[in-house]
A and B are shown apart, each in its own frame.
Chain A
Amino acid sequence: MKNKNDIVVDDELIARYLCGEAQPEEAEALTDWLEEPFNLAHFEKIQATWDVTFPSKGKVSFDKDSAWDALQHNIHSPSERSSFSLWFKIAATLIIGLSAGFLGYRLFQTDSAHSQISVATLKNTETVTLPDNSTVVVNRNSAISYLEGFGNDSREVDFSGEGFFSVKGDESRPFIVHTPVGHVRVVGTVFNVSSTRSGLEVNVQEGKVLVYTLTDSTYLEAGQSASLGAGKPINIVDSIDANQWGYATRKFDFQDVPLANVFESIEKAYPYTIEVANKDIKNCRLTASFDHVSAREMLNLIGETLDLTIQENDSTFRVEGKGCPWVQ
């Protein structure tokens, strides 16, 4: 079969192509030529010979559908390096509704009737209600972006930073969270996502989610946690520290936990820094539960229980006292 360039597809061209020596016109001609099943069979025999001489290299396949998902993400979320500066630039001209630490604005006006909505947080945590009434508690320094109204086939959001998702069940429209490193797909469930440019951690509180990248995927059930690094296989852990998402649930449950960890959990959930005057304080252990209690109240209670004094100064709490000896 000749094409407009009169390139003849013969075994020599096929060999050149497999070796990576084909010019673009030749690759194009070959691609056209392969549409004929007879030609494809012939090509595959030669390719099989080529493949078999380097067995550990293995056969490659390319998934256009998950590639499209990845492309969508790349297009809608500019690389994290530029993302916040991009948002700040646009926010200066397009702010709709502003309160301390909260930015909401429209981005990417497309031809279709719907625009892309993006929300970014700075110092505060914000609860975002999505078009399907699912909610996301977006932690500090995080961002979420989605198409207004979602679509008919899916509910997709782009996400970076940390967020606690409560997704309403909708069998007809899977809910997908896209992050730089991987994706999370659910029908309806409750889970936490912590995403950076190079890592992703997903913790499931209720229900079941599918976590996937271009090369790996796994189901996660309630009580499980997965962590992914770019290019590495997904690592699953069977226990969850629910205090990690205290920022969203406002619930903390400490069972004989060293104060070092307690303070970490509190610092994560609230925009405060906790300083200790004496490192032995961090060894003291706490057993207590808190539900919708302010950071100040939590620390005062901890102080009373463990004989420590708490001083508040701006957004820093200073803890003083004798502390406890270190115990394994």
Chain B
Amino acid sequence: MLHADVEIIKAIGKGNSVVFKQVFISHYESLCRYAYTILKNAEEAEDVVQSMFVKIWEKREGLEVKHTIRSYLFKAVYHQCINMLEHRTVKLKHQVHLTHELLAETQRPETFQDELEENIIAAIKTLPDQCRIIFMMSRYDELRYAEIASHLNISVNTVENQISKALKILRVKLKDVIE
């Protein structure tokens, strides 16, 4: 463990709220962004990070950090988020159709509210079939890699590759939209 981290843990354990604030301010945003990628909801992400820090402060006297403060914080956020996902009431996920007409449907009217976004829809339509389906299941149905893999009876590795591929293709196709 970093020497500086040892001193920080000791100070927080003694109730030093200035040091505690420093840790909070330094890591808050990156922890929230990470939580947001998992939970896909900004309010819940902030709740998780906030309650984690409250718990740390409340249990500060017995605080034990094995490696670095930063890895401790990221691990804690990760576990909290996974817990929350498991307890979430199961949303009714849309059935993913295997046809081109998918995007033309008003299946997800709340996603695209502007005709100007036709070119985004068009770009997604150009993705190869399996790639497009996997990308949409991740992006819009918010399924995890393991869920997508089991739905489609493929490996997680394949899911990973297809999503990477989708992002690469879309990045080129949407260069003008992204600026």
Contact = CB atoms under 8 A, between A and B. Distances in A.
B113 A49 contact: no
B54 A64 contact: no
Interface stretch (A68-76, A126-134, A232-240, A286-294): A68-76
B139 A54 contact: yes
A27 B53 CA distance: 18
Contacts of A17: 34, 37
Nearest to B54: A74
Contacts, number: 126
B155 interface: no
A15 to B, nearest CB: 5
B131 to A, nearest CB: 12
Contact of A49 (B45, B161, B174): B174
Contacts of B38: 20
Interface in A10-57: 11-12, 15-25, 27-28, 31, 45-46, 48-50, 52-56
B17 A68 contact: no
Contact of A110 (B15, B74, B77, B160): B15
B71 A67 contact: no
A68 B111 contact: no
Contacts of A23: 78
Given A20-B144, A24-B71, A56 B113 contact: yes
B24 A54 contact: no
B90 interface: no
Interface of A: 11-12, 15-25, 27-28, 31, 45-46, 48-50, 52-56, 60, 62, 64-65, 67-68, 70-71, 74-75, 110-111, 214, 231
- Nearest first, the 8 closest Cβ-Cβ pairs linking A and B are A24-B74, A20-B38, A24-B78, A62-B32, A64-B28, A20-B37, A49-B171, A48-B178
5 contacts: A24-B78, A27-B78, A49-B171, A50-B167, A53-B139
